[in-house]
Amino acid sequence: MSWDKRTINMSHLDMVREMLDDSGFPYILIVQESVPGFGINDDISLTGEPKYYDLRRLQYGNWVILERIERTADCDADDTITSHKFSLWEEPKDWKYIERRG
């Protein structure tokens, strides 16, 4: 049995935030959860402490971007951080920042 799990950040939130900064457009950015990574790319300190990832909510104009981490119990399958865009009035009220698969 191998252990090749990684944490892959596929979120577009930072790109959107950079464009908003460049244009001077106002926004609100809030960290909703901070979660440890369980991948081989997440042990970055000499003490063996895992790397933490902030899961955020970005609101600008009439839009909201929410991040989530999709975790799997499979030691060979990657955990992924994704971003999802919603109109402000369609934002899910029960958003799961941590989604478990398998």
Predicted confidence (pLDDT) per residue in 34-44, tens digit = 999 988 888 76
| Contact assessment for residue 25 and residue 18, using Cβ atoms and an 8 Å cutoff | no
Residue 90 lies in a domain: yes
pLDDT digits (tens, 9 = 90+) for 23-32: 999 999 999 9
**pLDDT confidence of 45, banded at 50, 70, 90?**
low
Q: Is 50 exposed, middle or buried (0-12, 13-18, 19+ CB in 10 A)?
A: middle
**pLDDT confidence of 80, banded at 50, 70, 90?**
very high
Nearest alpha carbon to residue 99 among 63, 74, 78, 71: 71
Residue 56 lies in a domain: yes
> Can you give the residue range of the structural domain that contains 76?
7-101
Residue 15 lies in a domain: yes
The number of folded domains in the chain is 1
Eight-state DSSP code of residue 88: G
